[in-house]
Amino acid sequence: MYSPRRTSAGQSSWVRILLYTDLTILPDELFWHRDLGLLNKTFRDLGHDASLVVHPASESPSKIKNPKTKISKEPVIWASPSEVRSPAWWKSHTPDLIILGLWTRPKYDPIRRAALSATPRIIERADSDGMRTASCGVLTYARRRYHYFRDRTGLWPDGFSIPVSALYSAASILATPWIEARLAKTLRLIPSLAVETPSATQFWKKLAVRLGADSARVQCIPHPIQTDIFRPDPAVPKTNQVISVGRWESHQKNLPLLLKTLVAFLRSSPAWTALVVGSGLPVSSPHPRIRFSPALPAHELARHMQSSKIFLSSSRFESFGLSAAEATRCGCRVVAPRLCALATTAYRPALGRDLLSALCRARDESWHSTAPLTSPDWSPSAVARQFLGAAGA
């Protein structure tokens, strides 16, 4: 449970902030260590009256509002899908600032309009890969749509999933005029758009101009990470270890490429080991020096990153690359496919279309320090202040 800490800030300086995402979760799945949950916690630490707005997965909102458990002590508002489409509901909470995690999807326009009736200070977090339409490049967009849909047909046989995903990709390209017409209305409705990486921000600014929206509304605000946990520790020596983290059941993360690259790398690097962390891993490792681990708590994961020299990503695409940013903070050199780096330029990765050659180059470079590579300030407090500045609060 998160216990909010109120600062000595005067009552008049407080801001009432609602952070809404269209998530349907169970009460015991509340999160304060990432995404909007971490932002909500940080706003409260800064002295603001912030609440996370989510939908209950199994219980009615009225039942959760009067619980017999610790849920009542959490800074969360349980709302039904119909409530967040009501202007009266938003007005009843008298927000000064609303942050929406709706990723510019046009189907949420009724929620945006309802929220705008309560305050003009609204910031929406965008789909930060910047690839919402084929205007980012037909081939790039086709690959992105194909991999996106393969993720959603992961339980289908490949013989069915592959052609269906290809058809979905082609249909998305053909539907670009319709998609852009809907997106144009949404972009004109959103007062401010927060995009997590510089390269994706440029994508979005160009797209806004193309669709007749105000590109000045698009601002780069990075994803917050727990910089108090993910940081260099001089007491932890760097070892010849490659670490990778992901949801490996996801087609996006490309586990076959990761394991193929690691096996080839370790064959030529007898002094090195690899640690692969996350869900969806095979029962057995393909190499004696590749260890598998289930998902780890943040403190344990940070310890492994602090002792590793290289973070390896095999993802077909990434929006921000949260694990890569955490590894960068812990002093790891990041190796990723060029396609990943298209949207993930907030850190300084070692790039190359040949992932193995890039990994070997990272291995052979000298290590002068465990200090993090040059990067933006991803600390939660810095990111929270950027949101407040973007809203003029």
Domain tally, the chain: 3
Q: Do 206 and 355 have their domain in common?
A: no
pLDDT tens-digit series, residues 183-206: 999 999 999 999 988 888 888 999
Between 137 and 373, name the one with better pLDDT: 137
- 85 in any annotated domain: yes
DSSP classification of residue 364: H
Min mean pLDDT across 128-142, 332-346, 370-384 is at 332-346
- 233 in any annotated domain: no
Dmax (CA) of the chain: 65
- 6 in any annotated domain: no
Residue 339 scores a pLDDT above 80 = no
Q: Do 16 and 50 have their domain in common?
A: yes
Residue 372 scores a pLDDT above 50 = no
In whole angstroms, what is the distance from residue 24 CA to residue 191 CA? 26
Mean pLDDT of all residues belonging to the chain: 86
Per the structure block, which two tokens stand in for 324?
A: 């890569």
In whole angstroms, what is the distance from residue 31 CA to residue 28 CA? 9
- 283 in any annotated domain: yes
Q: Do 49 and 161 have their domain in common?
A: no
- 372 in any annotated domain: no
- 2 in any annotated domain: no
Q: Do 353 and 299 have their domain in common?
A: yes
pLDDT at position 375 is 57
Residue 252 phi/psi, 5-degree rounding, is -55, -40
Residue 157 phi/psi, 5-degree rounding, is -60, 145
- pTM to 2 decimal places: 0.86
Q: Do 188 and 294 have their domain in common?
A: no
In whole angstroms, what is the distance from residue 66 CA to residue 87 CA? 24
Residue 370 scores a pLDDT above 60 = no
- Of residues 148, 22, 3, 8, the one with CA closest to residue 84: 22
Q: Which helix (H) or strand (E) holds 263?
A: helix 255-267
Q: Do 200 and 310 have their domain in common?
A: no
pLDDT tens-digit series, residues 216-272: 999 999 889 999 999 989 999 999 999 999 999 999 899 999 999 999 999 999 999
- 87 in any annotated domain: yes
Task: Give the domain range for residue 152.
Answer: 136-174
Q: Do 151 and 112 have their domain in common?
A: no
Mean pLDDT of 20-48: 90
Q: Please, which residues have CB within 8 angstroms of residue 90's CB and are 6 or more apart in sequence?
A: 18, 84, 98, 114, 115, 117, 118, 119
Q: Which helix (H) or strand (E) holds 308?
A: strand 308-312
Q: Do 247 and 327 have their domain in common?
A: yes
Q: Do 34 and 113 have their domain in common?
A: yes
Residue 53's pLDDT band (cuts 50, 70, 90): very high
Q: What percent of the chain has pLDDT over 70?
A: 85
Q: Do 170 and 185 have their domain in common?
A: no
β-bridge pairing 122-125 and 192-195: parallel
In whole angstroms, what is the distance from residue 120 CA to residue 208 CA? 20
User: For the residues of 334-349, what is the DSSP string, one character each?
Assistant: EEE-HHHHTT--SS--
Residue 177 scores a pLDDT above 90 = yes
Residue 67's pLDDT band (cuts 50, 70, 90): low
Q: Do 41 and 83 have their domain in common?
A: yes
The answer to whether 269 and 263 have CB atoms below 8 angstroms apart is no
At 18, which CATH number?
3.40.50.2000
Between 132 and 170, name the one with better pLDDT: 170
Q: Do 68 and 203 have their domain in common?
A: yes
In whole angstroms, what is the distance from residue 1 CA to residue 30 CA? 9
- 347 in any annotated domain: yes
